[in-house]
Amino acid sequence: MRYRSMTDVLARSFRLCFGCVLVMGLAMTGCDSNGGGMSENPESKTITGRVTTDGSSGSGTASATPSKTARDGVEGAMVTAVSVGADGMTRALEGEATTNADGEFTITVEGENISNVVRLNAQGEGDFSSSVIVMTGGQRQVQAQPMTAETAAEADVYVEAKAEDEASSHEKGVTAADVAMYVNADAAADLNAGATQASKVAAAIASTVRAETQMNAEAEGAASADAVADTKANLYADLQSGLATASSTRSRAEVMTTFEDGMANLYVEAGGTAESQARSRQAGTSVMIEVSGTVSSDAALGLRKQAELLRAEATARVEEAIFEAEGASNSTINALVQARQQLKTDLRTAASIDAVADAKTTYEASVKSQMESTFGVSAATIAVAETEIEGSLEALFTALANIGGTLDGAAGAAVSAYNTFYSSAQASAKTSFEATTSASTAEAAAKALLYVSAHGHS
């Protein structure tokens, strides 16, 4: 929301008072010197938290498990707050606090119409500074997650992203959950070092979210926009409270894993189908791949790895659903689940774009090897089907490559490219499989091949 200026408020107060004179003749009683509607007791919120140093050092810390590592508390840091509007505009709030020996603080902030999103800023000795975005959810007492290098980077990106996405609320467009998902240690390190700009990272995330949102709106079996927004808000609230109370590196990693798993299955949790989720993630990830070239190499790797994790989970889940519907054996489903888990581990530890591509190639091979027994098709038949869809796949990848650098049109271009691919390639693949199996099984086999093939875009 945009906040009214004091001039507007006073003008409104004058009109109200003048109306009191005309109607009641009680101007002095109806409109006092308090300012005609300005609250004598501004809204207040009390936020507890901790300012820390941490181990977020970028690509050298690649790990198989996500973690926001909070280390030593920062004593004597001054904590202040601003209210963040849905348009990214910030407004200073009254109130400040000083951290104790453990870096802990309690701050009571006051102001008119405080947003549900507050940014806390900490300043310490020397050039130390940190920040964190706090979702208050309308509550007067809130626990913030510890301030770390990652939360500081997230705060910068979130404010820029809300200015970029032109959404009408914090629950629409880019959310705090989106920023927390994409800004990992790699991206945070470059942002905090000034190697890349928060505005460019925000633009890449905003374009990615636009593509997902548009594909979800168009896909059959899609989740409702309101349900997606509510699910994101709940996931971030759980992340915030979980990190606030986590007392060890292991517990923090568990909180982060739960959050990432929730985000990975966002659209299904919000009521959508596995197929609509997979298509939404494919469109979003492809946009991230193409537009993240505007940021530094380490930041781009970090953003792409997070996007690939989301796409990997969505693609693997839809593959497993397709196989299950066709009566796949327990051993086949277990093999697919293991392949999914290995893919996610490989993506998290990938130190380069080539390593990301290798991880996806390995997963694709695992899926194709399971197709033979479940769908009753030979490796030769699968190869024929791949040849039949090769032209459509190349057209898809070419169209996606051409969206790079066009942020405004990237989302629409990606969605259009994927819709064209699925409509043209499905029939070709199905025809190839029908030579050796039934029409219904051929259709399922075609879907399995298309999803894992489109997952290969890098």
Q: What is the reported pLDDT for 43?
A: 85
Q: What is the reported pLDDT for 403?
A: 85
Q: What is the reported pLDDT for 46?
A: 97
The pLDDT of residue 29 is above 50: no
Higher pLDDT among residues 81 and 42, named by residue: 81
3-state SS track over the chain: CCCCCHHHHHHHHHHHHHHHHHHCCCHHHHCCCCCCCCCCCCEEEEEEEEEEEECCCCHHHCCCCCCCCEEEECCCCEEEEEEECCCCCEEECECCEECCCCCEEEEEEEECCCCCEEEEEEECCCCCEEEEEEECCCCCEEECCCECHHHHHHHHHHHHHHHHHCCCCCCCCCCHHHHHHHCCHHHHHHHHHCCCCHHHHHHHHHHHHHHHHHHHHHCCCCCCHHHHHHHHHHHHHHHHHHHHHCCCHHHHHHHHHHHHHHHHCHHHHCCCCHHHHHHHHHHHHHHHHHHHHHCCHHHHHHHHHHHHHHHHHHHHHHHHHHHHHCCCCHHHHHHHHHHHHHHHHHHHHCCCHHHHHHHHHHHHHHHHHHHHHHHCCCHHHHHHHHHHHHHHHHHHHHHHHCCCCCHHHHHHHHHHHHHHHHHHHHHHHHHHHCCCCCHHHHHHHHHHHHHHHHCCCC
Residue 66 pLDDT level (bands cut at 50, 70, 90)? low
Q: What is the reported pLDDT for 224?
A: 96
Q: What mean pLDDT value characterizes the chain?
A: 87
The pLDDT of residue 90 is above 90: yes
The pLDDT of residue 330 is above 50: yes
Q: What is the reported pLDDT for 32?
A: 35
Higher pLDDT among residues 70 and 7, named by residue: 70
Q: What is the reported pLDDT for 362?
A: 97
Residue 363 pLDDT level (bands cut at 50, 70, 90)? very high
250: CB partners within 8 A, 6+ apart: none
Confirm if 283 and 414 have CB atoms less than 8 A apart.
Answer: yes
The pLDDT of residue 24 is above 80: no
Residue 138 pLDDT level (bands cut at 50, 70, 90)? confident
Q: Give the pLDDT confidence of 191-229 residue by residue, as tens digits.
A: 999 999 999 999 999 999 999 999 999 999 999 999 999
The pLDDT of residue 323 is above 70: yes
Q: What is the reported pLDDT for 15?
A: 39
Q: What is the reported pLDDT for 368?
A: 95
The pLDDT of residue 12 is above 70: no
Q: What is the reported pLDDT for 28?
A: 35
Q: What percent of the chain has pLDDT over 70?
A: 86
Higher pLDDT among residues 12 and 242, named by residue: 242
Q: What is the reported pLDDT for 404?
A: 65
Q: Give the pLDDT confidence of 93-137 residue by residue, as tens digits.
A: 999 999 999 999 999 999 988 889 999 999 999 999 999 999 998
